[in-house]
A and B are shown apart, each in its own frame.
Chain A
Amino acid sequence: AQSVTQLDSQVPVFEEAPVELRCNYSSSVSVYLFWYVQYPNQGLQLLLKYLSGSTLVESINGFEAEFNKSQTSFHLRKPSVHISDTAEYFCAVTPRGNTPLVFGKGTRLSVIA
């Protein structure tokens, strides 16, 4: 079975400051890794994913995440956050193949002006 741990439930950060949201996973098989974002009163949107190849993946709005197999981590980073990045962020894993995602409990990012 797979599990995901998001180490921080809440992360406050000032606008234009860098941020890192941490995610560690546990799995006995190879997995796909995902970050989803949930804005207030909305569903989840895919932010970025790691399937294979380059361990650094990027999103169109400046976020990036790096897959670290030895540390079983997939931390999400952004060098300079905006007010509009305020949301809840979920890390998720799934074994390779068509199976349900396993989510972490989420990290609430609050960007302060």
Chain B
Amino acid sequence: EAGVTQSPTHLIKTRGQQATLRCSPISGHTSVYWYQQALGLGLQFLLWYDEGEERNRGNFPPRFSGRQFPNYSSELNVNALELEDSALYLCASSRRTGSTEAFFGQGTRLTVV
């Protein structure tokens, strides 16, 4: 069974540009979570999607947005990139009901120059 897959692995953008990150959950999982892992800050919760809807978002500005598609894959969009957006972005998926574990992808390393 394939795990959570994220693309691209690495992404380099310049300040002010937009970045799009993609995530495919494990088959059968309907919930997708996005986290930002910036140096020294641990994992900060960004967004939670389930059954195509945004269920919760963390304390991030509106230029961080996303969506979940009918096949439960997800996109994270970051507009007007700033240098401090440089981080590892991790996606995780879980089953909607009776879920006790989230499975993580390898992440997308976003570098803003």
Contact = CB atoms under 8 A, between A and B. Distances in A.
Given A43-B107, A44-B104, A105-B42, 18 more contacts: A34-B101, A36-B104, A43-B4, A43-B105, A44-B43, A45-B104, A49-B100, A51-B100, A90-B43, A98-B95, A98-B96, A100-B33, A100-B48, A101-B43, A101-B102, A103-B35, A103-B45, A106-B43
A99 B95 CA distance: 11
Interface of A: 32, 34, 36, 42-46, 49, 51, 90, 98-106
B65 interface: no
A42 B106 contact: yes
A105 B101 CA distance: 19
A44 B103 CA distance: 8
A46 B93 CA distance: 13
Q: What 8 A-B pairs have minimum CB-CB distances, sorted nearest first?
A: A105-B42, A103-B43, A43-B104, A44-B104, A43-B106, A98-B99, A100-B45, A100-B48
B42 A103 contact: yes
30 contacts: A32-B100, A34-B101, A36-B104, A42-B106, A43-B4, A43-B104, A43-B105, A43-B106, A44-B43, A44-B104, A46-B101, A46-B103, A49-B101, A51-B100, A90-B42, A98-B31, A98-B50, A98-B94, A98-B95, A99-B48, A100-B33, A100-B45, A100-B48, A100-B56, A101-B33, A101-B43, A101-B92, A105-B40, A106-B42, A106-B43
Chain B interface category by residue count: 20 to 34
A102 B105 CA distance: 17
Contacts of A49: 100-101
